Amino acid sequence: MPSDTPQPAFVLIRPQMGENIGAAARAMWNFGLDRMRVVAPRDGWPNPSAVAMASGAGRLLDEAVLAGDVAEGIADRTFVYATTARPRELTKPVFTPEAAMRDAANRIARGEKVAVMFGPERAGMENADIAQANAIITVPVNPDFPSLNLAQCVLLVGYEWRRAVEEAEEMVLRGQRTELAEGAEIEALARHYEERMDEAGFFYPPEKADSMKLNLRNLWSRMPLTRADVQMLHGMMRQLVRWKDKG
């Protein structure tokens, strides 16, 4: 059974190649989407090529809803987006994928039933298909090469869905020892280097010593050092001093 997570249904309109259906299933599952609907697939259903390509996402294909035409595929939906790269003479709201999935998330939170339609690989959806949608999703692609592979389009919209419903930090520091150094630790490191470098005659000529030390302090403060980094830098300087003394 599909998960209980509120989400849009992804509707593949007359897909032509089983491999693309399977790849679309994998793309959906990457972002926690499991409501696939397949409308009039060219090579029938179920499709062995789709199963082979889906790999670990085969469950989506087992639970996919098969429909004979677009009207049947979206019959229970209250708001439908159609993905298309080509200009249409139909008057409809046109969203970017990011804005569309934010809108979809808000609609689903209000209890609406949402679907996103994806057209066949060769030429995309016909106007008769898009006329049944409430809005259009258009990806800002190269106008000289606007066609996206079916699975690529599914992946892109799925990614934007995930971004719309799940907070993710834009940048995190990961690793075994990622605790950032505190100000006192940075200060001790700066003093250690100043003292040893002063002994080595680095701060020369004397009239430039203060500005050189200031620049060195500024260097340490600009670097997002972890406690492990600070310990390593202390150790490097101690070893250099020992090596010098051995000579």
Share of the chain above pLDDT 70, in %: 96
CATH of domain 9-165: 3.40.1280.10
Which amino acid appears at position 38 of this protein?
Answer: V
Residue 141, pLDDT score: 85
Q: Rounded distance, CA 2 to CA 62, Å?
A: 10
156 has pLDDT over 80: yes
Residue 137, pLDDT score: 95
Q: Which residues pair with 80 in a beta bridge?
A: 115
pLDDT interval class at 87 (50, 70, 90)? low
On whether the CB atoms of residues 106 and 169 are closer than 8 A, the answer is no
Which amino acid appears at position 202 of this protein?
Answer: F
pLDDT tens-digit readout, 169-196? 667 667 767 788 899 999 999 999 999 9
- HSE-up of 158 (CA within 13 Å, CB side)? 24
Question: What is the residue whose two structure tokens read 């790999």?
Answer: 55
- Residue ranges of domains in the chain: 9-165, 183-246
Instruction: Summarize the confidence of residues 203-211 as an average pLDDT.
Output: 91
Residue 168, pLDDT score: 66
92 has pLDDT over 70: yes
